[in-house]
Structure 1
Amino acid sequence: MLLSFLTSFIGLAVAATNPIDTFANVTVFQPDSGAVSYARTESLTNGTLLATWSDFAAANNTIPIYRSADNGFSWYTFGSVTSDTEGRRLVQPHLLYLNESFGDWDAGSVLLAVNAVDDKSTNIEVYGSADSGESWSFVSTVATGGKANTTNGATPVWEPFLMMTNHKVVCYYSDQRDTQHGQKLSHQTTSESLDAWGSAVDDVAFSNYSDRPGMTTVAKLPNGKYILTFEYAMLNATGKYRYPIYYKISNDPENFGTEKAYRINVNTGVQPNGGPYVTWSPIGGVNGTIVVSDSDHNSIFVNRALGDGIWTEVKTPAGRAYSREVRIPTNDETKLRIAGGAEYGQTDPSQVLLTIMDLAKALNITS
């Protein structure tokens, strides 16, 4: 516990000596038409960021990579990722910076997991870049499912999330291939190379067939445990789905399956709903602060007790967005980076927007 406190204190002190600027809703990308969403960013070094997003209306088989050299205040086109398979659109991206070498990839390489979708299949694929995101090559396929279809009984895979932990790379995703579940959450792991993924393991699988947990994100906590958030799609009395946010906590990021699921209960009575994203900040005391965003609110929801008890609603200057991302900048841990695009179901043109907010100030942390 003392070590965790010292680590948090030192991290805060270092960040305070080199604070980054705050700003609200800077434009990363403005499409000519159509809605873009599912924005994702990744920190490289020295304030350099990469960003990408989903464009479900894209007619080609590429996904853009944008770059910022000033902590996200300005952006420019940097690269693109192209599917090796004609007719596949790359959507639902997730970026991962490798801070250590892994297999054939040196430290400093960047990975991109996507759902490569065509009219017959969904495919969780991984691409890699050895030059900070400018050029990319196909690396491997993690999982393959049926065509994109959210109807129970269909067999697609969705929504990859990459994490490196314990010298392994884990790919979490939503999985409709099990006939016992309308949808469940699974992961696959590789410990040696990015083309040697292990078998799928259940993370969240409920006994009620119609339940559809989805959209995994994971963060490591200072006590060595891990938190997994997800939307728990369940039918209400009228036969329509609702999507409250739930979470699990485990000692092992590869063993969430047997852990209990908890709903996020908020002090204001607000119910976070749909498309969660979780991150952890070292500020806020010995336990730091868990931060969760959802798709329906401007607010974030925070917990400073390692997931126990009631969560607190905190207002942000960022807008609502489907699967809005929250990340802690690696060069200033007192801040929170928020990236988003269109709201769920939006069809009119939508920007990809990025916000840096002062998390310490929002939490009333003064030292």
Structure 2
Amino acid sequence: MYYLSLASILLLTPNILSTSAQCVTPNPTPAANTDFNDNIFFFPAADAVEWKTLYARSLQLPDESLLMTWENYAAEPPLVNHPIYKSTDGGATYSNFSAVKDQVNGWGMRFQPFLYTLPQAFGGYAAGDLLAAGVSAPESLTGGVYIELYASTDSAETWNFVSHIAYGAGPEIITSGDEAIWEPFLMMYNNELVCYFSDQRDPAHSQKLVHVTTTGLKTWSSTIEDVSYYTYDDRPGMTTVAYIESTDQYIMTYEYCGSANCTVHYKMSSNPLLFNSTTGIALVGNDTAGTVPYGSPYIIWTPNPSNTNGSGVLIASSGSTEQVFINGDGADPTEWKVVDVGQWSAYSRSLRIITVEGNKKLLFGNGGNMGNPDCNSVANGVIDIPY
């Protein structure tokens, strides 16, 4: 979401806090290549600052090994970076593998990392090469901010700077009027790489959602709006997008802060560059309680494991509930089924379909349980795909 103090989070967005508000006892290390939940594999340093860790993001390599990164609030110096940890046993254990480090600004890689595998040769890189986007900002949060792009041609062992995706004058805080940018999300579409992000630079909006595109990774287009609201203080944030293969449609999720109190919303479009022309829909569970998810959503689509007719399932997560929300390919607003999955809720808990010994599974990435920043370790879980 945004960089701010714990007191500010509690005051502004009480509904998006995780249900895991106390320190937890680590589970025993799971056996290799098994299903498990709430597996803490990284504890922040004792002198880590602010949130300790937040915003875990994952990737899987062709050999089935897993990568995980997150916001890591280590005390400085040296400059903060986005650590890359690797698992070769289905997520049961991880080891420190590499890091995406600021190579151009002298600020550090500070916020909201995102990992992406190129599905095709593009911009001088081969299909299968890796990209990492993230926010580089000074420790003071003043003097400017970039969303940066880095690339790896050796399966994440080393990373090199590619380009500045976007620039804001800062400060990198959520105060309306400050030119901050946040939360990159990468996706290929129609031979272009798209970067969605949250944008405070427009004086007409406290924040809006936008995207930029590139045809060669070095230069990027001007911004195009995806979500904005007439009320100045309304703040859509935290874009994620999934492609629904069975219908050739795209779905975007985002939190709608301000007048909608950070409830999760979504949009559907046949063209992921034209979300601004579609209407946002509130995501509400169809259980008897009408469960409403708040804050930091994440959405994925996967083929339905229960059939072979090509249909799939949408899986949505939020920061406020341990449950996930399941729907069919059409994302019918009345059909969001609430499913218990046994995994702690977390700030921007990420989702990914992975392969474990040939079997498709759902991987959770947890960075920051939010209730107590002293407990904000990094955890993951691997379960059967819910449907």
Q: Shorter chain as normaliser: what TM range? A: 0.7 to 0.9
Matched, 1:275 2:300: no
Structure 1 counterpart of 2:110, from 84, 90, 99 = 90
| Aligned alpha-carbon RMSD (Å) | 1.7
Matched, 1:322 2:341: no
**Greater Cα shift, 21-30 or 261-270:** 21-30
In structure 2, the CA distance between the partners of 1:348 and 1:235, relative to structure 1 (3 Å rule), is: same
CA–CA distance in structure 2, aligned partners of residues 235 and 333 of structure 1: 43
Partner of 1:354: 380
Q: CA deviation at 1:32?
A: 2.2
1:295/1:344 contact within 8 Å kept: no
CA–CA distance in structure 2, aligned partners of residues 258 and 325 of structure 1: 27
Partner of 1:42: 59
Partner-residue secondary structure (3-state), 1:257: helix
Matches within 5 A, 1:276-295: 276-283=297-304, 286-295=310-319
Partner of 1:196: 219
Partner of 1:302: 326
Q: CA deviation at 1:180?
A: 1.0
Partner of 1:227: 251
Q: CA deviation at 1:305?
A: 4.2
Partner of 1:21: 34
CA–CA distance in structure 2, aligned partners of residues 299 and 121 of structure 1: 38
Q: CA deviation at 1:207?
A: 1.2
Partner of 1:14: none
Q: Which runs of 5+ in 1 are unaligned?
A: 1-19, 237-241
Q: What TM-score comes out, normalization by structure 2 length? A: 0.83
CA–CA distance in structure 1, aligned partners of residues 109 and 117 of structure 2: 23
CA–CA distance in structure 1, aligned partners of residues 93 and 219 of structure 2: 38
Matched, 1:109 2:129: yes
CA–CA distance in structure 2, aligned partners of residues 91 and 251 of structure 1: 30
CA–CA distance in structure 2, aligned partners of residues 346 and 159 of structure 1: 22
Q: Which amino acid aligns with 2:180?
A: P
**Greater Cα shift, 100-109 or 56-65:** 56-65
Q: Which amino acid aligns with 1:337?
A: L
Matches within 5 A, 1:1-367: 21-33=34-46, 34=48, 35-59=52-76, 60-84=79-103, 85-118=105-138, 119-145=142-168, 146-191=170-215, 193-222=216-245, 223-235=247-259, 242-268=261-287, 269-283=290-304, 286-310=310-334, 311-330=336-355, 334-344=360-370, 346-359=372-385, 362-363=386-387
Q: CA deviation at 1:108?
A: 1.9
Q: CA deviation at 1:209?
A: 1.0
Residues 140-167 of structure 1: CA distance to partner in whole angstroms, max 9, x if unpaired? 1111111212111111000111112222
Partner-residue secondary structure (3-state), 1:348: helix
Residues 90-119 of structure 1: CA distance to partner in whole angstroms, max 9, x if unpaired? 320000011321111112211000011113
1:190/1:196 contact within 8 Å kept: yes
Q: Which amino acid aligns with 2:188?
A: M
Partner-residue secondary structure (3-state), 1:329: strand
CA–CA distance in structure 2, aligned partners of residues 58 and 133 of structure 1: 24
> How many aligned residue pairs are there?
336
Q: Which runs of 5+ in 2 are unaligned?
A: 1-32
CA–CA distance in structure 2, aligned partners of residues 44 and 111 of structure 1: 13
CA–CA distance in structure 1, aligned partners of residues 256 and 236 of structure 2: 4
Partner of 1:15: none
CA–CA distance in structure 2, aligned partners of residues 31 and 142 of structure 1: 29
CA–CA distance in structure 1, aligned partners of residues 41 and 143 of structure 2: 32
Q: CA deviation at 1:342?
A: 1.2
CA–CA distance in structure 1, aligned partners of residues 275 and 350 of structure 2: 22
